[in-house]
Amino acid sequence: MTDAEYHQMPLPEAQRALFEEYFSYVYAIVRQKLKNDSSEEDIEECVSDVFADVFLYCDKKTEFNGDLKGMISTIASRKAISYFHESVKKRNRYIPAEEETFSQIPDEIDIQETIEHAELKHMLRNQINALGEPDASIILHKYYDGMSSVEIAKKVSLSPEAVRMRCSRALKKLKVLLNKEGFHQKGE
């Protein structure tokens, strides 16, 4: 969702759409930063506070016309780090700056890459499953499990030659499905 799309909708509807689109994303960022130090309730409270800040930011008529994802990830990261520091203060734990475990609190870029990678894996798995059987099983055994055509043939009750032929055809189908989803090979 872009800022322009957000401002074109009635406020409650826009907030609901924004929440539904980005809840999992915000939750993943907050959970990653607070998982070792906070309860599930604290994580959920932080997520709620992130959306409150996002809604306040979006309701200001700022000069922002881009995709909201980057802004939301920044707010989520900063809010989670703030919660982390508040949690440390509440427990009266002193953590010297040089010992502070920022390695446990990864950059938002690492989280974004992790989430995008997970989304890509999920989408790829869905497209493989869309091939149907036995093609999906052949692709999964070959490229995920590293099995040979002979090994796969025993599992799916086909000859090794039939497995190789079906694999070749399934890869072509998969390429078409991925192209429809907007993924293209370099140079295309």
Q: CATH number of the domain that 147 lies in?
A: 1.10.10
What's the domain count of the chain? 2
DSSP state of 20: H
Q: Does 98 have pLDDT greater than 50?
A: no
Decide if pLDDT at 99 tops 50: no
Backbone φ/ψ region at 148: left (φ over 0), alpha (ψ -120 to 50), beta: beta
Q: Is the pLDDT of residue 123 over 70?
A: yes
Average pLDDT of the segment spanning 17-43: 87
Look up the domain containing 16 and give its range: 3-106
How big, in percent rounded to 5, are the helix, strand and coil portions of the chain? 70, 0, 25
Query: 15 falls in which pLDDT band (50, 70, 90)?
Result: confident
Report the alpha-carbon distance of residue 73 to residue 79 in Å, rounded. 10
Residue 155 and residue 89 share a domain? no
| Residue 9 pLDDT grade (very low, low, confident, very high; cuts 50, 70, 90) | confident
Are 8 and 70 in the same domain? yes
